[in-house]
Amino acid sequence: MGASNQSAGRRPVLALTVGEPAGIGPEIAIRAAWERRHQANCVLLGDAAYLAMLAADIDPAIRVSALSSQAVRNAGLPHFGPDRLIAIDVPLAAHVKAGQLDHLNGRSVLATLDLALEGLKAGWFGAMVTAPLQKSTINDAGIAFTGHTEYLAQHSGTEQVVMMLAGEPAGSVTGAAPLRVALATTHLPLQQVSAALSVEGLLRTLSIIDQDLKHKFGLAAPRILVCGLNPHAGENGYLGREEIDVIQPALAAAQAAGIDARGPYPADTVFQPKYLQDADCVLAMYHDQGLPVLKYATFGRGVNITLGLPFIRTSVDHGTALDLAAQGLGRADSGSMLAAIDSALSMVAASQTL
Ligand SMILES: NC(=O)c1ccc[n+]([C@@H]2O[C@H](COP(=O)([O-])OP(=O)(O)OC[C@H]3O[C@@H](n4cnc5c(N)ncnc54)[C@H](O)[C@@H]3O)[C@@H](O)[C@H]2O)c1
Ligand SMILES: N[C@H](C(=O)O)[C@H](O)COP(=O)(O)O
């Protein structure tokens, strides 16, 4: 996608969608954008009047300049220095009450994603970073929606993407190497997971991980450990056959294609430091097989990255935290949002050196 606004010497421009307005997204987006204002021009996408009001409550020093999306379409994104944040206005339909969901605002949340996609295509932004949204509210607004990952894939015309979360664990967990956990399936009811696994799909997943770890993370020869689906990786077929019928053939095909992928390993043992120290990524078969481990080790510092997209997208490792939002400003930790911005910046830099 385009990069016309990403001229050398200027801070990279990142689209920062602020997520569910009643959650902690807008607050952590403002705080992180302001904290990183000298490294990145984080353009907030959300209701500009609401964001300006919130910014003033967070810190009166934070200035928010509002732009209309039409003005940006007509004249491009103007250059602003780090003395202020820019918000491209995506108006909300209903007044926001912190901690209280309102499905009337669901379409506006999705419109921020559409605007980010438009801006990536037009070259306004070098990457997008997303604050958490509430999937149920968008569904309550009458729009089938399972997550950013699937939405961005569909709306960028990408056949397959891979969700990967990464973070720096406390030193004792893996010896301080980044832990990266990718998923073979994303937001899917558990009952549908087995049927969603196929040799071709897993091979594409492994190939996307391999390519993106090389090109967006600068790893010369990524090493991927692959989990089984069943307890004890199927116990030679006595506890399930997906390992024999699907995962092993996919691994054989990946290895034949030059991908360093090994397994299938029992998911309950593969996350030991002695295995992780020889790996760059673990591929789990489903959401709650891999993410509890990652979030246990890195919550608050982790980053969610969508691999396989034709642009860079990162996000936080947590949700909307309505409980914290309801208590007022200052309760939420912005660490993961800062990590998501930092990660997007380093991926932008890695992509530019190709
Ligand atoms: N990137 C995303 O858009 C994203 C990611 C995860 C979950 N979600 C969505 O968020 C909604 C709520 O999910 P949930 O309740 O399972 O998880 P959650 O992460 O919102 O909350 C889980 C717990 O972690 C705490 N927490 C979360 N973020 C925190 C932060 N920044 N600082 C301090 N504490 C924090 C919360 O207070 C809560 O106790 C769901 O709709 C889910 O789908 C969105
Ligand atoms: N699976 C993610 C997590 O648990 O953190 C989260 O739901 C966000 O997914 P999307 O980026 O697809 O919205």
149 is in an annotated binding site: yes
Could you report how far apart the first and last alpha carbons of the chain are, in Å?
A: 15
Contact of 43 with 15, CB cutoff 8 Å:
yes
Per the structure block, which two tokens stand in for 296? 């246990």
Contact yes or no for 104/93 (Cβ under 8 A): yes
Q: Are 130 and 148 in contact (CB under 8 A)?
A: yes
Residue 148 marked in a binding site:
yes
Is residue 320 part of an annotated ligand binding site? no
Q: Is 149 in the pocket of ligand 2 (CB under 6 A)?
A: yes
The confidence score (pLDDT) of residue 8 equals 55
pLDDT given for residue 174 in this prediction: 47
With a 6 Å cutoff on the Cβ, whether 20 touches ligand 2 is: no
At 143 the pLDDT is: 96
**CA–CA separation, 306 vs 267, rounded Å?**
22
Spacing, Cα 324 to ligand 1 middle (Å): 10
Q: In whole angstroms, what is the distance from residue 94 CA to residue 22 CA?
A: 11
Amino acid letter at 326?
A: A
CB under 8 A, 24+ apart: contacts of 273-277: 273/173, 273/174, 273/175, 275/225, 276/174, 276/177, 276/179, 276/225, 277/174, 277/175, 277/177
Low-confidence ranges of the chain (pLDDT < 50): 1-3, 172, 174-175
DSSP 3-state assignment of 23? Answer: coil
What is the side-by-side order of every strand in the sheet holding 85-89? 64-68, 85-89, 41-46, 13-17, 127-130, 313-316, 303-307, 162-167, 179-183, 281-284, 223-227, 260-265
Do residues 39 and 11 make contact, with C-beta atoms less than 8 angstroms apart?
A: yes
- Residue 264 preceded by cis peptide, ω within 30: yes
Gap between the Cα atoms of 283 and 210, Å rounded: 11
Nearest ligand atom owner, CA of 18: 1
Q: Which listed ligand is nearest to 306 at the C-alpha? A: 2
Looking at residue 2, its pLDDT comes to 42
pTM of the model: 0.95
Q: What is the spatial distance between Cα 146 and Cα 151, in angstroms, rounded to a whole number?
A: 8
Contact 21, 50 (CB under 8 A): yes
Q: What is the pLDDT of residues 192-213, one digit of tens each?
A: 999 999 999 999 999 999 999 9
Q: How many CB atoms lie within 10 A of CB 214?
A: 15
* 232 is known to lie in a ligand binding site: yes
Q: What six digits make up the tokens of 87?
A: 């918000």
Q: Point out the ligand 2 atom lying closest to the alpha carbon of residue 151.
A: 12
What are the C-alpha distances in Å from 233 to residues 183, 306, 337? 16, 26, 35
Q: Which of 148, 294, 320 to mutate to test the pocket of ligand 2 (most atoms within 8 A of CB)?
A: 148
Q: What is the pLDDT of residue 10?
A: 81
Under 8 Å CB-to-CB from 120, ≥6 apart: which residues? 1, 2, 15, 127, 128, 311
pLDDT of residue 352: 80
Separation CA 274–CA 1 (nearest Å): 40
Length of the chain: 354
> Binding site annotation covers 318?
no
Q: Residue 94 CA to chain centroid, in angstroms? A: 27
**What ligand 2 atom has the least distance to the C-alpha of 150?**
12
Instruction: Please list the residues that pair with 227 across neighbouring strands.
Output: 265
Q: Which residue's structure tokens are 């930790």?
A: 333
